[in-house]
Structure 1
Amino acid sequence: MSEKIGPMNLLVATNLFPDTKEPWRGLDNVTLVHAMRQQDPGLNVRVLAFRPSVKHWGAAALYSRPEDAGLHPQYFWAPYVPRLGGMNHRLFSFAFARALKALPRDFTPDAVLVPWLFPDACGVVLKASEWRVPIVAVAQGSDVHSYLNMPMRRRAILAMTRGISAIVTRSNDLEKRLARNGADERKVHTVYNGVDIHTFKPASRAVARDELKVPQEGKLLLFVGNFLPVKGLDLLLAAFARVVSSSPQPVRLALIGGGPLEEALRAQAGELNITDKVQFLGRHGASRVARWMQAADAVCLTSHNEGVPNVVLEALSSGRAPVCMDVGGIAEVVEPVLGKRFLVPQRDAGAYASALLDALANPPDEEALHQAAVKSFAWEKCAQQYLSLLRGEA
């Protein structure tokens, strides 16, 4: 495609983009795109949002959230056949090529952003590399942690890296994993996700608890995320039961999110005799999550693996200690601010409970945590780094 002078046309293609049925899907990606538009108001964005399916094919009857209408998202089913495993990027490429026909005729991409490596970025490169415009893929976590251990997917990912301009990893740990597996180190860049420092900020715990109808007495722990095996919530409940029995004052645990493990988690809470101390709150938007963080005393994360999850940055920006398993890239953002104090090295309920009790008894300075987030993780900084890569400047 020929060069042009004027505002950049950015095409975003990904399965991780929200709609009205799944407004939580790919929130970090849509927030990034909005942040880039704030930094470059002339940025002309079109989003092709895909949903993998073994049954459907073609356009999907899904609709964007009102706040995303300016990004012009269009939704499509992408064929995904589990038995094909490492060949699904070719099916995704076919779906991508067909979806391109829905773009306005006067929209010629100057750059392409593809969050998620396989099959999304691998499939897009098969078609878009012929355009000779910057293509930036984003490695988000399990697309590196899991897929590099699968031979066919690893080959597809490494082949994709040869036809792409840059790969963004959301932690240095992910960058090193890609390099160890043969990716061109010159193309891989760590850019930490941003955090909305205006929404996630310290505030009166008492006022937040009054608003949320949380008792003023006692301590409150908070989890935010999907109820999936990778999140290690069985360990969190086991550790929380120990905290309840050891704490000199009442302690509650609030869980924001949802997923297939909810029934099993409720059953485990019953077996541990902590049902009356655990709240399942369902899914909530960012402003409500921020209010719960302001009401809480610490934020919990017991994942088996992670990149740098948004909830850790949100906790820091809210002035709340994130008590985490020391996995993936979490230490990269927590240790410079808090040292290793709240990083638990082994998956042991007693060790994790001890870290929680420490956070409750000796909380860090909340304003210092917030200022550290402002300095390093504001969305404005993140968006500028992406824009540089998409313009071919980095």
Structure 2
Amino acid sequence: MRILTVTNLYPNPFQPQRATFNREQIRALACEHQVIVISPIAWTDELTARRTGSPPLPHGRRMYWDDVAVEYPRSWFIPRVFRGSYGKLFQWSLANTFYRVAREFRPDIVFATWAYPDGWAAIRLAHKTDLPIVLKVHGSDVLELDKHPSRRKGTIEALQQADRVVAVSRDLATKVLELGATPERIHLIYNGVDQRIFFPGDRIEARQRLGLDQKRPAILYVGNLVQIKGPDILVDACGRLAKQGIEFDLHIVGKGPMRQNLERQAAICGIAGRTRFYGTIPHNHLPDWFRAATMLVLPSRSEGVPNVLLEASACGTQFVASCVGGVPEIAHLGASRLFKPGDPNQLANAIAETLDNPPDQPISLTRRTQAVVAQELGSVFQSAIRKDPLIASGTIFWPK
């Protein structure tokens, strides 16, 4: 197949670690199919990058990642206002690139990830060119509509008008159904893990490579420093642990607008001396962090299925995570404890229990590879092209 992917969630020269889960999935698809990606870059992000000294994009605004061609049109919008117009502005921003690529590449299918504005705009462009389109939803784009009412109308339209909708968890698929997508168009496909990179290893050696203390428990957070991921809940919980005299170091990997507030919060909680912020690190360096950690903690307020939990458990690392979204659906894949979202006291108790009595590691861990996920996506694409209501067993979501 020839697959044209439309998403803002993809690496670019200014954000090379952006949405590595999408990069891996597209790379796996490109092993079996011809793939081109259109990934609009927000004009605000490009302006910020240029002001900090980043070189401009190459002439033609096309680059290659993993031998996959990526087009980078500039996305125009008015920051923080008229959010209901973002879909139309996104469509206008990528229209010329989309039509040119569609004419030259002649795709069989359009694959859009993120419901609004990406999916909404891609659906209109695809249907104008008589192309079928599959929309993949990740979690917050559907689950957080109450907090972003201006996105609600466009998100619902995208879910109802896409030829197929792929959800990464059963919880998310249920929400998609509630928002009006018909069940025969909803497909459940859990994300996969690159087992060539993420596998168990020696903790002592990993800590030596990272320069971490060999004796103190290492609590690890990996993710964007944004409200929905709940890093503030983790810092609060760790402050409570410190007051109980529990020894640990807190390692925070990731960047985002909350960093300064988190640093101040750590100081107020009395744990500044045992908290380290590392910013963003390359995706292929994460396995050592997982292997070195005593546990990974993900205190999200909302989730689809977090790849970071899949990757950590693939490395044999126990995790503590909030019981939200699709997290309970994957908890059996690793040694895990779940806690009530938004409750730092429960999180502190879960961390303390994990330190005292580590949960049992499953005897046999079944890992989905990126190749398997690519095959399942390929089946959904073929069904959309054929307008076939049914595809291979195990990838359709049917509500109970």
Greater shift, 24-33 or 90-99, is seen at 90-99
Matched, 1:238 2:236: yes
Q: 1:116 to 1:346 in 2, by over 3 A?
A: closer
Amino acid paired to 1:18:
P
CA drift at 1:65: 11
- In structure 2, list runs of 5 or more residues that go unmatched: 48-54, 392-400
- CA deviation map 1:307-362 (0-9, x unaligned): 11111111111111120111111111114655xx6110253222111111222222
Aligned equivalents of 2:46 and 2:124: distance in 1?
22
Matched, 1:262 2:242: no
Matched, 1:316 2:313: yes
Contact 1:19 1:62 in 2 (8 A): no
Aligned equivalents of 2:102 and 2:155: distance in 1?
30
CA drift at 1:27: 1.3
| SS of the residue 2:40 aligns to | strand
Aligned equivalents of 1:229 and 1:184: distance in 2?
32
- CA deviation map 1:354-387 (0-9, x unaligned): 1112222222455x37x52xx2432122111111
TM-score, structure 1 normalization: 0.88
Aligned equivalents of 2:199 and 2:352: distance in 1?
23
Q: 1:298 to 1:247 in 2, by over 3 A?
A: farther
Aligned equivalents of 1:389 and 1:289: distance in 2?
31
| SS of the residue 2:284 aligns to | helix
After TM superposition, the structure 1 = structure 2 runs for residues 43-54 of structure 1, keeping only pairs within 5 Å, are: 43-53=33-43
Q: What is the aligned partner in structure 2 of residue 281 from structure 1?
A: 278
Greater shift, 341-350 or 110-119, is seen at 341-350
Q: What is the aligned partner in structure 1 of residue 394 from structure 2?
A: none
Contact 2:316 2:334 in 1 (8 A): no
Aligned equivalents of 2:360 and 2:63: distance in 1?
37
Contact 2:229 2:298 in 1 (8 A): yes
Q: What is the aligned partner in structure 2 of residue 5 from structure 1?
A: none
| SS of the residue 1:358 aligns to | helix
Contact 2:41 2:73 in 1 (8 A): yes
After TM superposition, the structure 1 = structure 2 runs for residues 1-394 of structure 1, keeping only pairs within 5 Å, are: 8-38=1-31, 40=32, 43-53=33-43, 61-62=56-57, 68=65, 70-81=67-78, 82-103=80-101, 106-147=104-145, 153-246=151-244, 250-335=247-332, 338=335, 342-366=337-361, 368=362, 371-372=364-365, 375-392=366-383, 394=391
Greater shift, 300-309 or 67-76, is seen at 67-76
Contact 2:134 2:164 in 1 (8 A): yes
Aligned equivalents of 1:55 and 1:106: distance in 2?
29
- CA deviation map 1:23-70 (0-9, x unaligned): 1212111110111223x1xx111111112347989xx94369987151
Aligned equivalents of 1:54 and 1:208: distance in 2?
38
Amino acid paired to 1:343:
L
Q: What is the aligned partner in structure 2 of residue 4 from structure 1?
A: none
Contact 2:194 2:370 in 1 (8 A): yes
Q: 1:121 to 1:321 in 2, by over 3 A?
A: same
CA drift at 1:268: 1.0
Q: 1:101 to 1:184 in 2, by over 3 A?
A: closer
- CA deviation map 1:85-118 (0-9, x unaligned): 2232122222222112553854101111111110
Aligned equivalents of 2:70 and 2:100: distance in 1?
11
CA drift at 1:156: 2.4
Greater shift, 163-172 or 297-306, is seen at 163-172
Contact 1:319 1:365 in 2 (8 A): no
Q: Would you say how many aligned residue pairs link Structure 1 and Structure 2?
A: 375
Aligned equivalents of 1:285 and 1:56: distance in 2?
21
Contact 1:134 1:391 in 2 (8 A): no
CA drift at 1:178: 1.6
Greater shift, 130-139 or 193-202, is seen at 130-139
Contact 2:62 2:70 in 1 (8 A): no
Aligned equivalents of 1:30 and 1:118: distance in 2?
19
Q: 1:162 to 1:287 in 2, by over 3 A?
A: closer
Amino acid paired to 2:38:
L
Greater shift, 146-155 or 122-131, is seen at 146-155
Aligned equivalents of 2:17 and 2:40: distance in 1?
15
Aligned equivalents of 2:40 and 2:102: distance in 1?
18
| SS of the residue 1:342 aligns to | strand
Question: What is the Cα-based RMSD across aligned positions, in Å?
Answer: 2.5
Aligned equivalents of 1:97 and 1:231: distance in 2?
33
Q: 1:269 to 1:299 in 2, by over 3 A?
A: same
Aligned-pair identity (%): 29
Q: 1:47 to 1:328 in 2, by over 3 A?
A: same
- In structure 1, list runs of 5 or more residues that go unmatched: 1-7
Q: 1:66 to 1:313 in 2, by over 3 A?
A: farther
Aligned equivalents of 1:130 and 1:355: distance in 2?
52
Aligned equivalents of 1:223 and 1:158: distance in 2?
33
| SS of the residue 1:168 aligns to | strand
Q: What is the aligned partner in structure 1 of residue 51 from structure 2?
A: none
Greater shift, 174-183 or 83-92, is seen at 83-92
